[in-house]
Structure 1
Amino acid sequence: MTLVSLRGSWSLILGVSGGMGAAIARALAAEGGNVIGVHFDRAAGREQADKLAAELRDAGVQAHFRNLNVAAPATREAVVAGAAELTGGAGLRVLVHSVAFGSLLPFLPSGESTRTITDRQMAMTLDVMAHSLVYWVQDLHAAGLLPRGAKVFGLTSAGSVNVVPSYGAVSAAKSALESHVRQLAVELAPAGVAVNALRAGTTLTPALDKIPGSAGYAEQCRARNPHGRLTETSDVGEAVALLSASDSSWITGNVIGVDGGELIVA
């Protein structure tokens, strides 16, 4: 397995403005990699993304962020064309799908609440958080922007196998994402492109805060983790940088735990 420098390489991070996406951007920039980022935010999120882009440029790399709907075909068309120009046609070293935008409603009424998920909300959650990975890979591959040695990462969670209140649609999306990763890994193997899902442990992010009862759940995970702490976004960033430094595509089609052993402890 040959390790290579990421200096001067290009990465595309979907969901770059905060949480995992921002940490991965910092980790790749620390290795000298340039970052193209897509995020979909209102004023506060846009300001946060602008600060991150400035931080990366101060680190000596290029950072080109766009505030667009990750799931829209027009966004893919514009960003893929921009990536081809920025990379000079050489393509991307890394594609990261770190998109946290879905419905957090129960399937059935519970207690005093009668609100339940609708078919439209279910479809939107799976399309944005799972199916969009396939569409991005399709368009990047068609444009010749996933060269041999490229790495594709989808961010999943233990929610794909565990039941968490109001997490049903997102759980389904994470399960679908993992399935898409396996299929893409097989289809991209002849091209020498590795595709994996990273299953981060429980991490204090804005996405976690939106899940009902997340504070208590996080404390249970902290107590269970053999490292005595929760996963931090920088742990995930380090994992992406490490895995991306290999030219091999032999590690592919996996769900790789980045959780300090959280999931294996009963």
Structure 2
Amino acid sequence: MAAKKWCLILGVSSGIGQACARSLSKDGWNIVGLHFDISERENEIETLKKELEKNSEQVVFFNRNADSKKERRDIVEHIKDLLKGDTVDLMLHSLAFGTLLPFIKTEEVESVIQKSQMEMTLSVMAHSLVYWTQDLWESKLIKSGAKIFAMTSGGSVMYSQNYGAVSAAKCALESHARQLATELAPHGIMVNTIRAGITDTPSLKKIPEFKALIERAETFNPHGRLSTPEDIGEALCHLSKMESSWMTGNIINIDGGEILTI
């Protein structure tokens, strides 16, 4: 009997996280998903769970705050009980919750980012990768052969007026992944970031200048279109099949060549 494959997806309920859950489910993975949604989305999320259950033997969702130390440790204990001696073979960090404001006040810009907003954005979208990895490691829920991926973006190296705090978070995320990759390499654990192209997701539409970003990608992406969440899900399934941890500490571009031309 084949061993169960378990993945943990932080940010499972929409966009890239949701697409990756669908792709991994079709490939036979059991899904543990974390999301943080209001009650109005309850039916939509329940529909996603039922869809995943058609292919996955087990699907468990937690509607909790991924950035809370108490919540995180409680969920890790739940995962430990659920897996009954199995381990998490793949973790995807796809948390997209941050403040979208410029830094400098001008005649055209009235609201600028504040310290608490900057700190929250960095904590949720970057630092939480470290804390989740630490807790999984200390709970013996990841071992040799495990794979950790975190979603970054071209915004880590390009300017967009309201994206400053998120850009900083993506830069920190990439740095954290390199550090984790180096420290976990002796234990056979792979850690990489995935840099998607501009992708039409609910998170993209929260950026005030999202229409200009879409137009730029459609014009200059070598494939002549936006990236899709399904592009990332397909790639993650291929990456999940790697047996070696030799490819680690990288920023993997899954963007149709977009980073080369925009």
Tell me which moved more, 6-15 or 166-175: 6-15
C-alpha displacement at 1:77, in angstroms?
A: 1.2
Deviations 1:20-65, CA, capped at 9 Å, x for gaps: 1000101110110000001001123333222111110122431100
> Counterpart of 2:13?
17
State the one-letter code of the partner of 1:209: K
Gaps of 5+ in 2: none
| Aligned residue-pair number | 261
Answer yes or no: is 1:199 the counterpart of 2:202.
no
> Counterpart of 2:30?
34
> Counterpart of 2:44?
48
> Counterpart of 2:231?
235
Deviations 1:76-130, CA, capped at 9 Å, x for gaps: 1121112112222221110010000000010011433311000010000000100
Gaps of 5+ in 1: 1-5
Answer yes or no: is 1:137 the counterpart of 2:136.
no
- In the TM superposition, what are the counterparts of 1:65-104 in structure 2 within 5 Å? 65-104=61-100
TM-score by length of 1: 0.95
- Aligned partner of residue 92 in structure 1, secondary structure: coil
Question: Following the alignment from structure 2 to structure 1, what is the Cα–Cα distance between the partners of residues 155 and 243?
Answer: 31
Given that residues 83 and 91 in structure 1 are in contact (C-alpha distance below 8 angstroms), is that contact kept between their aligned partners in structure 2?
Answer: no
**Percent identity of equivalent pairs:** 48
- Aligned partner of residue 203 in structure 2, secondary structure: helix
> Counterpart of 2:245?
249
Question: Following the alignment from structure 2 to structure 1, what is the Cα–Cα distance between the partners of residues 214 and 199?
Answer: 8
Deviations 1:136-178, CA, capped at 9 Å, x for gaps: 0000000111111110001000000000111000000000000
Q: CA RMSD in A?
A: 1.3
Answer yes or no: is 1:184 the counterpart of 2:204.
no
Question: Following the alignment from structure 2 to structure 1, what is the Cα–Cα distance between the partners of residues 42 and 168?
Answer: 29
> Counterpart of 1:63?
59
Question: Following the alignment from structure 2 to structure 1, what is the Cα–Cα distance between the partners of residues 216 and 123?
Answer: 31
Answer yes or no: is 1:219 the counterpart of 2:183.
no
Tell me which moved more, 47-56 or 93-102: 47-56
Question: Following the alignment from structure 1 to structure 2, what is the Cα–Cα distance between the partners of residues 60 and 256?
Answer: 27
Tell me which moved more, 9-18 or 219-228: 219-228
Answer yes or no: is 1:147 the counterpart of 2:140.
no
C-alpha displacement at 1:18, in angstroms?
A: 0.3
Question: Following the alignment from structure 1 to structure 2, what is the Cα–Cα distance between the partners of residues 195 and 98?
Answer: 14
Given that residues 201 and 259 in structure 1 are in contact (C-alpha distance below 8 angstroms), is that contact kept between their aligned partners in structure 2?
Answer: yes
Given that residues 192 and 251 in structure 2 are in contact (C-alpha distance below 8 angstroms), is that contact kept between their aligned partners in structure 1?
Answer: yes
> Counterpart of 1:3?
none
